[in-house]
Structure 1
Amino acid sequence: MFLKNNKVKMLGIIILTVLGVYIGLEYVLPLFAPFIIAYLVAAALSPVVKFLNRKIKLPKLLGAILSLSLLSSLVGFILYNICDILLTQVVALLKNFPIYLSVLTGYVDNLCTGCDKFLGIKLGTVQNFIYTNFDGVLVIIKNKIMPVITTRSINLLIGMVGFVGILLIMLVSILLLIKDDEQYREGVRNSVFYKDIHVITSKLSHMGIAYLKTQGIMLLLISLVCTIAMFLIRNKYALLVGVGIGVVDAFPILGSGMILLPWAVINLFQKDIYSAAIILTAYVGCQLLRQTVEPRLFGNRIGIKPVYTMMAMYVGVKVFGFLGFLLGPVGLVMIITIIKEARNRIDGSKLQEVTSENHE
């Protein structure tokens, strides 16, 4: 009976935990995300501020302003240069798009002619079929998709204005958190729920940071490998393509092979052995990084199998959209942490009951 009650209790805890994590990520997190980010930045800058206060007696508020200004300048400088290169390559791509479209049209015509000959039908049949349907697609894009893009552009502009306001709130929050960090910490420690929450948040912090750190490192490494490969084959949009492949590789269903393998095959058909070899080498390098570096950084540290992480990313994308590839695994970490802690407490209470019965 005792074991049966424990199973029912654990089932209830699992259901409530999954439901609570979903509600938290879907509805609560967007409300508090700016302040969570502000807390993380403040925690990172706090040692620097304390060092300045201890060594040169610089007031905490001034130290916070100085360190935050230096960090913002550094991040802004890096982002500016990266965005400048990416925008330059995007503009060049758009200018040359008609040329690439013409080349693509030539490939399609050759493919259609080959299909006509293979099927033994009149030349131009497949080509007419594709172009007729393509005209319909253009009509749909003009009448339905373009108005939506225009509307979204206006919403994006409004969103950018709102983002500036949120950024200002974050900056002020960072300064206030650093200035009175001891008071905030003391207030949290005196809370009635501090011990219960701290047990979970400390483990969750370790696991969550490990995951985010892993994904950031993997995105950087794979983007770097692909960018180097693009430079070696003298691609004009090396950084743009490399970063794009790195982002695509972060999704569990897609992966870098979705882009690199067809690209290599096309180069082989064009008898460009050098480019095909470089691209295949980049693909193998990406796979080796995923198979060796990622488990060491993430899976082995927190005991979660990579396949479960991929499942969580897939479910996260389905439930939360684009950000789900981050929120999914974070939600999995939260669920596992809370359930493990609940199970330990249930086992602990069971042990205490057995011990008391033996004493009696």
Structure 2
Amino acid sequence: MSSNSMIKKVLGGLVSLYVSQMSITQAEITIESTGETISGDMTISQDLGLTRGNNLLHTFLTFNIDAGESATFTGSNDISNIIARVSGDSASQIDGLLRSTITDANLFLINPNGIAFGAGASIDVNGSVHISTADSIVFADDSRLLVSDTGASGFTAAAPAAFGFGDAAAGISFDGVTISTLETDRLSALSLVGGDINLTESSITVAGGDIDVFANGGAQDIALAAGDRDLAIAELGVITISNEVFTPGKIDLNTSGEAAGRLSLSAAEIGLTRAFVFSDTEGNGTGGAIDVWATDALVLSEGARITTDATGGGAGGDLSIQSASVSLSGTTTALAASMLSAGGDAGNINVVA
């Protein structure tokens, strides 16, 4: 695909996301079962949802959090998975705090109309967080819960296993967002699984945890676990990570830690401009890999970097890249798996282009 085609596709995705955001209502949450609308510091208790085994399902007509406000999921510590689906027709705007007080419970926020995180957004969840614009979720027993099925006939006690897309999906965006587990040490993993994914002027750190970014481009089921996906046959979208200027010390996607976590980017086209994607091992542990799958093109420009360096006594993870075309421009732009300390071991770099 030509660079002009890539630019047009990215711009088209941005326009689509903008139009989607125009349909967002005021910052509030409307609970589907009661029709109640809440705002401010919002508590969403277990009794407002449906429980099957260790799974808790909440259904909303709208789900938006304003700056300075919060939405807090509460319930029994027996809950393992909180599934928050938006069955209405507007996208979600998250400008405040998304939180759960349920220990070790994973949070799934699903809105097929699109999800946008703004400058005041933050996440405080003691578990993994999965943000998706899928229109269904598939469980390990092969049952399927449609976001639009308010009767919840496909909701079971089995563990979530995949996101289902009936067509090309709406986008997910982060604009001016800073999320860091260095402050809370609670979030263990973050996945973004939607249509085109756009990160602008944002920084997401899951220290020693995993980050998974998947841009969907067609009707298909996408496994929750990155290692269970067959990317060779997947229809993919676009991932764009960009900054207008460099900010010293800012890392756009970061799983660095004592033993770095795993980081995966999967799309047809991936573009990084003045952006850093790091999974550096800073202690004596063995770091996780960075896996980049860009079917058509991987483009790094204006000093963008992807690294799995070892800065302590441990071993850095591998950097694996598979793409039809890899383009690097700018004097400090780099793909690196380096040993930056006397006692560390560098990972391997594998590029298939």
Using structure 1 for the length normalisation, give the TM-score. Answer: 0.23
Which of 1 and 2 has higher RCO (CA within 8 Å, sep 6+)?
1
Higher strand proportion: 2
Q: Given the two structures, how large is their TM-score scaled by the length of structure 2?
A: 0.24
Which is greater in Rg? Answer: 1
